[in-house]
Chain A
């Protein structure tokens, strides 16, 4: 592309950006500031130079550990904030974003100055102090809380005492009346009936009763009352339904045993008096105690909350500071020290066109810090595979992620994300063609697109987030659906009579007579509305949509296939053009290209006007294989010869595809010891030849140590591998030509299904209400319209839309991308500071600990 020179930076959309591996020499004094600056720029992907050292042996482990602790403390503060419902003041989040329009002139003024180390130390000390204080306060509160609960429970038991003794006495007496003798003996031996009272969780009440029954052999009287309000449980920190109970029995030994059983079942025992007066006295006393406790608790909570409120104002900015500091040190850990430990050496990938910008940045930074030792940047030659980097914006991002989720494009190969911007929504639209449904979809997408700023800062749920990230995809899907719907002449399954119909019905006829329309012209744009409602309309739309999907599919595949030529040309791999691209192209065009041309040719001939029989294309293509040379119905003169030639060519392409590459490999391989690249990594290898080989040798010494672990394979290609690979490729390619073409028929099936479903929905709901007179008619229209509209949104737009989207996705991943896409790239992940949302962070961390 010639125009690229006019733009300052490579757009890096058609191909990924050219990357260079650079070495940075940073004096130790300014290392932290330098990395902090780089973290804000987000243009360098650092390589880990200490990958063999485990994370505990690295240079800045202590710093990271210290910061980890602070982060843990901050997360604890955040949890307390959540617990006490105190909002976290997030501040202007924008300030944490990567500055979007950095210009070279004055970079440093646009960046945040890194907090000084003493500021970080302050953070650390502060956090420790605050944690101590908060923990103390929390403990105090909990203690008071426990006391409060205890007293409250006591109060409940006391209050229930009235009920216990009212009914309990008579019952107990009744129970004991049966054992009057025993009673007498008891009295005589001065053992009185005694009781145990307390509170127990409701779900344990049955167990408790059963155990008591068994242990005491039924020699007891048990009664319990449900407490309406659930009671706060200090142990589990939650509210639990509880019951107050009373157990009558006799004998100290037995009572002891009952107490022990109760306590083992988490019951709390409270002694109450049988005498109502002393009970009410006790109650008064407890109420007094409780009110004291309430005041204490309130004042403690207020102090705690005001403390937390102060923390909530600052916590987020502290957290971001610490997170940045931590990722700075984590990056520093990837660096090497030179021999006398004065300079840090870093290695990383950077887009070539950002190199001068990076240099400017570092120069400005050094001069600002007033250090006279400059940082040095040196570009390295390398044989490592550079990461793939496409410069994306909010529009292209979603489309790129569709492709990236299948595979990251190889370095510098054609990026499938670019054509996907149009082909994906358009293929969708062929299946979803309806102006009304497309309009709804467009409106929904516009809500997201126009309120981008609002949605961007919102905390989105999973589904909403998906819709929001894909807003431009949905917008395009909607727009193209409106276009295809216009061509299908479908708006909510109705038709529009915008142009004069190309068909005319006869003038005079009787009602119920079978009528045939007469052709008077051709409908200029879209399907003629005369077909709408015709008895044989399905016959027509079937044939139309089937041919449409074959032709569109064929063109889509050919278009994709051409990218493989672009790739081979770019990587200067002639053998792939001659041995793969050309025979493949001839094979595909010879069969399916021919079919498509025949379809279009057949349309352009006026068969009825010429008085000839229209040949069936399906039979023609089948006969082309089964009985070459025999033509049942002639489509055009010399058809037999052309077909035999095409068939012969296609058949010839198979051995060509199969043999040429292995043979070529054999000959070139025996001549040159330096193996010629083959098969998969042909592009990688070709690309390496671009880089000057002397430089590789030169720098080998410096980076060899890091090199060998990653590279080294790929050179050992054997002839056998090439043969196997080529056999697979040949079989796959030839079969795929057939199956992929057939696969595009899904366009036909889905669009037909969509049109039918929407017309059925129309006739089953809204249409029923037409012509119904009076109030009933009004009611039916309103209610059936609601039903129709809801079902249209839910079924036709959402469900059908999702299904069509998945089909379109498949057409791209399988049918289109398999034609050219290698997709073994390494994603470019530059070191950049991320804004960490505390809430998600805390949730994640809790999850990690649980797991």
Chain B
């Protein structure tokens, strides 16, 4: 689990996008291609940013309302 995970997913997303680009339906092709690849790209970005923030966090969660009997 590291930065390489992000690169790996990026690579996968690129491959999926390319495959879809080629296989896109003939009707409304531009719309299909643009919509699907752009969605994939934005969803990837969002995930990657969320993942990266938690990769090497500088602060840790802190709470004082836990009770010993509820900890597994």
A89 contacts chain B at the CB level, 8 A cutoff:
no
Asked if A535 contacts B38 (CB within 8 A), the reply is no
Asked if B61 contacts A547 (CB within 8 A), the reply is no
Contacts of B52 in A (CB 8 A): 600, 603-604
A752 contacts chain B at the CB level, 8 A cutoff:
no
Partner among B35, B51, B55, B65 whose Cβ is within 8 Å of the Cβ of A422: B35
Partner among B31, B38, B43 whose Cβ is within 8 Å of the Cβ of A11: B31
Q: A-facing mask of B32-72, CB < 8 A → 1, else 0?
A: 00110011001101110111111111111111111110010
**Which stretch in A208-216, A297-305, A501-509 binds the other chain?**
A501-509
Asked if B43 contacts A483 (CB within 8 A), the reply is yes
- State the total of A-B contacts with C-beta under 8 angstroms: 149
Asked if A605 contacts B49 (CB within 8 A), the reply is no
A540 touching B59 in the complex, CB below 8 Å, given contacts A421-B31, A422-B35, A600-B52:
yes
Asked if A518 contacts B56 (CB within 8 A), the reply is no
A396 touching B49 in the complex, CB below 8 Å, given contacts A422-B39, A423-B42, A528-B54:
no
A608 contacts chain B at the CB level, 8 A cutoff:
yes
Distance A526 CA – B67 CA, assembled complex (angstroms): 27
B30 contacts chain A at the CB level, 8 A cutoff:
yes
- Name A506-563 residues within 8 Å CB distance of B: 507-519, 521-528, 530-531, 533-537, 539-540, 543-544, 547-548, 551-552, 555
For chain A, the count of residues having a C-beta within 8 Å of the partner chain is 70
Contacts of A604 in B (CB 8 A): 3, 52, 55-56
A503 touching B64 in the complex, CB below 8 Å, given contacts A7-B26, A555-B45:
no
What is the distance, in angstroms, from A707's C-beta to the closest C-beta of chain B? 34
Of all chain A residues, which has the CB nearest B50?
A487
Interface centre among B52, B59, B61, B64 (most CB of A within 10 A): B61
Of all chain B residues, which has the CB nearest A602?
B56
A380 contacts chain B at the CB level, 8 A cutoff:
no
Asked if A422 contacts B42 (CB within 8 A), the reply is yes
What is the distance, in angstroms, from A619's C-beta to the closest C-beta of chain B? 15
Asked if B34 contacts A426 (CB within 8 A), the reply is no
Contacts of B3 in A (CB 8 A): 604
A607 touching B58 in the complex, CB below 8 Å, given contacts A11-B28, A515-B63, A547-B49:
yes
Asked if A503 contacts B61 (CB within 8 A), the reply is yes
A720 contacts chain B at the CB level, 8 A cutoff:
no
Of all chain A residues, which has the CB nearest B67?
A511
B1 contacts chain A at the CB level, 8 A cutoff:
yes
A519 touching B50 in the complex, CB below 8 Å, given contacts A1-B30, A13-B31:
no
Asked if A507 contacts B29 (CB within 8 A), the reply is no
Partner among A418, A480, A522 whose Cβ is within 8 Å of the Cβ of B31: A418
Contacts of B31 in A (CB 8 A): 11, 13, 395-396, 418, 421
Asked if B60 contacts A548 (CB within 8 A), the reply is no
Contacts of A517 in B (CB 8 A): 60-62
Distance A524 CA – B51 CA, assembled complex (angstroms): 7
A522 touching B38 in the complex, CB below 8 Å, given contacts A515-B63, A535-B63, A605-B56:
no
A158 contacts chain B at the CB level, 8 A cutoff:
no
Distance A543 CA – B53 CA, assembled complex (angstroms): 9
A53 contacts chain B at the CB level, 8 A cutoff:
no
What is the distance, in angstroms, from B40's C-beta to the closest C-beta of chain A? 9
- Name A388-443 residues within 8 Å CB distance of B: 393, 395-396, 418-419, 421-423, 426, 430
Contacts of B62 in A (CB 8 A): 514-517, 534-536
A544 touching B50 in the complex, CB below 8 Å, given contacts A422-B39, A423-B38:
yes
Contacts of A521 in B (CB 8 A): 1
Asked if A507 contacts B30 (CB within 8 A), the reply is no
Interface centre among B38, B46, B47 (most CB of A within 10 A): B46
Contacts of B51 in A (CB 8 A): 522-525
Contacts of A483 in B (CB 8 A): 43, 46
Of all chain B residues, which has the CB nearest A507?
B71
Contacts of A7 in B (CB 8 A): 26-27, 29
A515 touching B66 in the complex, CB below 8 Å, given contacts A395-B31, A600-B52, A614-B58:
yes
- Name A121-156 residues within 8 Å CB distance of B: none
Of all chain B residues, which has the CB nearest A533?
B63
Asked if B71 contacts A505 (CB within 8 A), the reply is yes
Contacts of A771 in B (CB 8 A): none
Distance A393 CA – B35 CA, assembled complex (angstroms): 14
Distance A13 CA – B27 CA, assembled complex (angstroms): 12
Distance A410 CA – B14 CA, assembled complex (angstroms): 32
What is the distance, in angstroms, from A388's C-beta to the closest C-beta of chain B? 16
Distance A536 CA – B50 CA, assembled complex (angstroms): 17
Contacts of A537 in B (CB 8 A): 61
Asked if A603 contacts B29 (CB within 8 A), the reply is no
Asked if B29 contacts A3 (CB within 8 A), the reply is yes
Asked if B54 contacts A487 (CB within 8 A), the reply is no
A765 contacts chain B at the CB level, 8 A cutoff:
no
CB<8 Å pairs between A and B, sample of 10: A14-B34, A421-B31, A503-B61, A511-B66, A525-B50, A527-B50, A539-B59, A547-B49, A600-B52, A614-B58
New contact pairs (10) apart from A14-B34, A419-B38, CB-CB < 8 Å: A396-B28, A522-B51, A523-B54, A527-B50, A531-B61, A536-B59, A540-B59, A543-B53, A544-B53, A547-B53
